[in-house]
Structure 1
Amino acid sequence: MSAHTEHVHAADHGSVKSYLVGFVLSVILTAIPFWAVMTGQFDKATSIWLVVVMAIVQVVVHLKYFLHLNFSVAGRANTFAFLFTALIIVMVVGLSVWIIYASNAMMMH
């Protein structure tokens, strides 16, 4: 491999510091909703919203620190490929559930 190719591959991977930051954030984003649910500090609706928000933030943390997706010029293609794949998966699962629900509704009449 040429020096340029090795440098490009090295830039694709995160540093130990990056992985540690991602790990610590993931642990914190898991511990907060766990604590909230186990202690019962909040009512049910607030606990559900807290869990959902922390889950969304944790997905973003995983995408940034572990999958190294970003919108820089170099990472834009990987990010758009990931987003397109996620869109296709959501459409396939969503439309499958819709078809199953509609079929079930038609069978019940």
Structure 2
Amino acid sequence: MATDVTTATFDAEVLESEQTVIVDFWAAWCGPCRQVAPVLDQLAEAHPNVKLVKVDIDAEMDLAMKYQVTSIPAIKVFQGGEVKAETLGAQPRGALEKKFEGLLD
């Protein structure tokens, strides 16, 4: 299950995390965001070493700007405090696993 993060908790939850972190930049009004949410939950469940967090771009505009989120859903994988991979749009689990291959184990 994804954890909601804010500007106040982002550094501790994502940048300082020992784990690989999938960050889902989303908004409540975004249909594709709602479609991809259960897929991301499945992905995180299948990879227990990975943490899944969500950033509501409407509430956290500063984070959206900092990470250049211009379209949602924007999914970014962080390791060691850096973005290692990213993708836009709702995609099936297989496509996401292929895109993030080698980062989720």
Q: TM-score, normalised by structure 1?
A: 0.23
- Which has the larger Rg? 1
Question: Which of the pair is proportionally richer in helix?
Answer: 1
Question: Which of the pair is proportionally richer in strand?
Answer: 2
Higher relative contact order (CA 8 A, sep 6+): 2
